[in-house]
Structures are given as structure tokens and as C-alpha cells.
């Protein structure tokens, strides 16, 4: 393990090398969900911060991602200048390539700037048959009530 139980290093650029994985000791299909409600990156045009609630669901095959390394990976986007779509797909592809899970989906619910939220969704394929996949539970943006 590169990070678990060790002093935390701050990473300034997203890189697959930040991530750690642990052997999956279970043979049956099950869903793992990571929810990051305070994700941040930087708009490449305005240099303003962008905020998102990101949910990753996946069915592991041989490996599971170690959660501290995933937190550090998310944190490495804090100064990353990229559009919402690019950030979302980069995270999805990185985790898919790193773990090679049976199934993976990402929901990125970006908070609005200029009055319009942008939500981005991606998945590798249909989820395994008979797997319970709950709704991601993020309500659509309603503005001020």
C-alpha cells in the first residue's frame, strides 16, 4: 500500500499512479459505491472553481480500489483545469483501466455556475443480471426554494 497507514501526501495532478488496489476476496457479484459530494476542479476558461457530487458504482472482478488512494486521486483534481465532461470521463476511464471491473458507472452532478447544472453519466455496459443497483439518489438541481 502506498498510502494506507502512512502520512498523506498532496498530489497536484491527477495520475493513475496515485491509486492503490486491494485483492477482491469475494466471488459473487456485489456493488461498491463511492460518493464524493465535494469534488472540485478548475474551469479552464474562467479559472473559477467547479464543484460536483460524483458517484462511482462498480462490480469488482479481481481488484477493489483502496478508498484513501481514491480520496487522494479526487483531491488531485483540485487545481486541474478541465471541462466537466473531460474530468468525468477521465475519472471513469482511469478507474476502469486501473481495476478492470465487471461493470462500472459514474454519475457526475456538477453544481451550476451561470444557472445551468451539467450532469454527466457514463457506464461500461449493462450491469450484471440480478444485481441490485440502487438509484444514485442525487436530486436534480431545483435552484433556491
**CATH architecture of the domain formed by 28-123:** 2-Layer Sandwich (3.30)
Nearest Cα neighbor of 32 from 104, 123, 128, 124 is 104
Determine the pLDDT at residue 105: 98
Q: What is the pLDDT of residue 143?
A: 67
For residues 15 and 98, give the distance between their C-alpha atoms in angstroms, rounded to a whole number. 11
pLDDT of residue 6: 77
Percent helix, strand and coil across the chain, each to the nearest 5: 20, 35, 50
**Alpha-carbon torsion, ordered 11, 16, 17, 23, to 10 deg:** 120
Write the DSSP string, 12-38: SS--GGG--EEE----S---EEEEEEE
Per-domain residue ranges of the chain: 28-123
Round to whole Å and give the CA distance between 68 and 58.
17
Distance of CA 142 to the CA centre of its chain: 23
Sign of the CA dihedral 98, 136, 124, 83? Answer: negative
pLDDT along the chain (145 residues), means of 10: 81 96 97 97 94 97 97 97 97 98 97 88 96 91 62
* pLDDT score at 75: 97
d(CA 123, CA 118) in angstroms, rounded, equals 17
CA 17, CA 144: separation in Å to the nearest integer? 40
- So which residues are the catalytic ones? 43, 50
Amino acid at each position: 500500500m502506498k498510502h494506507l497507514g502512512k502520512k498523506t501526501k498532496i498530489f497536484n495532478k491527477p495520475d493513475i499512479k496515485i491509486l492503490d488496489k486491494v485483492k477482491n476476496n469475494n466471488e459473487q457479484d456485489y456493488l461498491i459505491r463511492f460518493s464524493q459530494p465535494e469534488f472540485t476542479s478548475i474551469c479552464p476558461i474562467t479559472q473559477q472553481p467547479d464543484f460536483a457530487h460524483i458517484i462511482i458504482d462498480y462490480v469488482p472482478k479481481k481488484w477493489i480500489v483502496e478508498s484513501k488512494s481514491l480520496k487522494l486521486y479526487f483531491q488531485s483534481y483540485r487545481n486541474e483545469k478541465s471541462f466537466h465532461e473531460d474530468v468525468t470521463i477521465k475519472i471513469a476511464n482511469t478507474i476502469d483501466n486501473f481495476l478492470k471491473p465487471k461493470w462500472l458507472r459514474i454519475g457526475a452532478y456538477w453544481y451550476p455556475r451561470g444557472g445551468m447544472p451539467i450532469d454527466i453519466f457514463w457506464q461500461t455496459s449493462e450491469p450484471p443480471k440480478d444485481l441490485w443497483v440502487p438509484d444514485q439518489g442525487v436530486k436534480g438541481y431545483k435552484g433556491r426554494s
